[in-house]
Amino acid sequence: MPKGVPTSIPDDGLTTRQRRNAPVLAVNTGDGKGKSTAAFGMAMRAWNAGMSVAVFQFVKSAKWRVGEESALRALGEVHTATGQGAPVSWFKMGSGWSWLRANDAAAADHAQAARDGWREIARCLASEEHDFYVLDEFTYPLDWGWIDVDEVVSVLSQRPGRQHVIITGRRAPAKLIDAADLVTEMVKVKHPMDAGRKGQKGIEW
């Protein structure tokens, strides 16, 4: 899409404005770093455009506050105080980490938390409660079979209104990729951990 101009115009009966304002389903996947970071960057754009933002963070610890959470919560407070931007909501749907294995001793609890989180997302979509959704690390419960991929694709494809959704995580299911409007694969070329360096505050969280 050079200079923001589509390479082809589909014969779909829609106007340019209708296509431009269509809701977007995006997926950031792959083994490289930056999937969630890019999604939160889009969330900040949405906030600036006056769209209400909801983050559903799967699998990460409910006790751990990442930098993006603090930043987005602060933007929510700015909206409350000044009216600028839009409301921000943040929900944590798990108690483990993204490298948690599906056969972990607490897997049943994690799986139930993930299913509860998905039900809440489906409810919010049906009632059009938010404008922009970040489903962070949502690919993992899909990949592990905790949440039915067909159901997710059906709900996302039939969501009413103009609700944008971005999903992050490795190993995004093929059916989700097929249903998405925008798919980005992060490819790792080099990483400090390859040289034995641990994650740093301000870089990894």
Pairing assessment for the beta strands 53-57 and 164-168 based on DSSP bridges: unpaired
* Global pTM value: 0.87
The residue among 101 and 82 whose pLDDT is bigger is 82
List, for residues 22-32, the tens digit of each pLDDT value.
899 999 999 99
Confidence of residue 113 (pLDDT cuts 50, 70, 90): confident
Confidence of residue 108 (pLDDT cuts 50, 70, 90): confident
List, for residues 150-204, the tens digit of each pLDDT value.
999 999 999 999 999 999 999 999 999 999 999 999 998 888 877 888 877 767 7
Domains of the chain listed by start with CATH number: 23-186 (3.40.50.300)
* Cα-based distances in Å from 86 to 34, 73, 74, 80: 24, 11, 11, 8
